[in-house]
């Protein structure tokens, strides 16, 4: 889950975010249990009237590697109000990257692409100080990966002996869907150049690959939760208050 904010900004906008978001590590595919969440730091820039394409933004997120090196993933976002009352918003996000790493005998190479849509609904009246929002959406992630690791007698990955090399190789590709929902508290959203702070809580579920004995066994269901903090500043617009 990208956890980006679907609510359009009143003017040119810069966002910074940190959080733990629903998802899974690639290494979870070769383990019996998955974590259900990943750490990330993200940033988005939305020029709005500066480029005459309101709602179009670009940015990236740094995804924690779960003990290994993390990776940087560029994102492209478009968000738009649905209706004139500014109660419901839609965001569409595209993302993709390539990453590789090795540690303690294990290694991987991965290409990750995908798209996400998210709806945001405001449940309380417009306020300069605090609003309650709910979110829902889904995504499809394309994964193309290969790697090597040490395998235990139960077929799952295990730590390689000190100085040892991987004894099992595996690869897979596929498209994996997920759905999510959540709620957020938005603070100071209508104070001119301060576009607000958002504390959001999420839950998500979807499918992930499963590799056992070096072979793709099936698709595995996963579920997880998370929380994020987003801060946004920028130019004030006509609808800032």
Residue 223 contacts residue 203 (beta carbons within 8 Å)? yes
Q: pLDDT of 212-241, one tens digit each?
A: 998 887 889 999 999 999 999 988 765 443
How confident is the model at residue 240, as a pLDDT? 40
- Residue 206 pLDDT greater than 90, yes or no: yes
Q: Percent of the chain scored above 90 by pLDDT?
A: 69
Rounded to an integer, what is the distance from CA 108 to the centroid of its chain? 20
Residue with tokens 């004894």: 167
> Where in the chain are the domains?
13-234
pLDDT band at 193 (very low <50, low <70, confident <90, very high): confident
How confident is the model at residue 239, as a pLDDT? 46
Q: What is the mean pLDDT of the chain?
A: 91
Residue 104 contacts residue 120 (beta carbons within 8 Å)? no
Q: pLDDT of 103-133, one tens digit each?
A: 888 889 999 999 999 999 999 999 989 999 9
More confident residue, 217 or 161: 161
| Least confident piece of the model among 40-49, 140-149, 190-199 | 190-199
Q: pLDDT of 76-93, one tens digit each?
A: 999 999 988 899 999 999
How confident is the model at residue 67, as a pLDDT? 61
Residue 120 contacts residue 93 (beta carbons within 8 Å)? no
More confident residue, 26 or 121: 121
Q: Would the CA dihedral through 156, 161, 162, 163 be positive or negative?
A: negative
- Residue 163 pLDDT greater than 70, yes or no: no
Cα 76 to Cα 56, 81, 123, 158, 209, distances in angstroms: 8, 18, 27, 37, 26
How confident is the model at residue 241, as a pLDDT? 38
Return phi, psi of residue 223, to 5°.
-145, 150
Cα 77 to Cα 6, 72, 162, 217, 222, distances in angstroms: 9, 16, 44, 34, 26
Residues paired with residue 118 on neighbouring β-strands, in sequence order: 91, 137
CATH class of 13-234: mainly beta
Q: What's the average model confidence in pLDDT over 161-165?
A: 80
Three-class HEC string of the chain: CCCCCCCCCCCCEEEEEEEEEECCCHHHHHCCCCCCEEEEEEEEEECHHHCCCCCEEEEEEEEEEECEEEEEEEEEEEEEECCCCCCEEEEEEEEEEEEEEEECCEEEEEEEEEEEEEEEEECCCCCCCEEEEEEEEEEEEEEEEEEEEEECCCCCEECCCCCCCCCEEEEEEEEEEEEEEEEEEEECCCECCEEEEEEEEEEEEEEEEEEECCEEEEEEEEEEEEEEEEEEEECCCCCCC
């Amino acid at each position: 889950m990208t956890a980006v904010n679907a609510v359009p900004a009143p003017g040119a906008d810069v966002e910074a975010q940190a959080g733990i978001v629903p998802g899974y590590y690639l290494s979870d595919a070769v383990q019996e249990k998955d974590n259900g969440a990943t750490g990330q730091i993200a940033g988005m820039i939305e020029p709005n009237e500066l480029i005459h394409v309101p709602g179009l933004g670009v940015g990236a997120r740094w995804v924690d590697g779960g003990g290994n090196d993390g990776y940087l993933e560029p994102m492209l976002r478009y968000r738009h109000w649905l209706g004139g009352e500014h109660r419901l918003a839609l965001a569409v996000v595209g993302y993709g990257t390539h990453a590789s790493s090795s540690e303690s005998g294990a290694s991987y190479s991965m290409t990750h692409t995908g798209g996400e849509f998210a709806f945001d609904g405001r449940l309380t009246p417009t306020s300069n100080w605090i609003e309650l929002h709910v979110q829902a959406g889904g995504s499809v992630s394309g994964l193309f990966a290969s790697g090597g690791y040490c395998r235990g007698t139960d077929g799952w990955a295990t730590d390689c002996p000190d100085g040892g090399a991987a004894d099992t190789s595996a690869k897979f590709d596929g498209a994996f869907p997920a759905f999510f929902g959540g709620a957020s508290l938005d603070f100071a959203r209508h104070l001119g150049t301060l576009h607000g702070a958002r504390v959001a809580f999420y839950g998500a579920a979807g499918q992930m690959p499963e590799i056992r004995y070096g072979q793709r066994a099936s698709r595995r269901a996963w579920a997880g939760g998370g929380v994020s903090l987003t801060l946004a500043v920028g130019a004030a617009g006509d609808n800032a208050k």
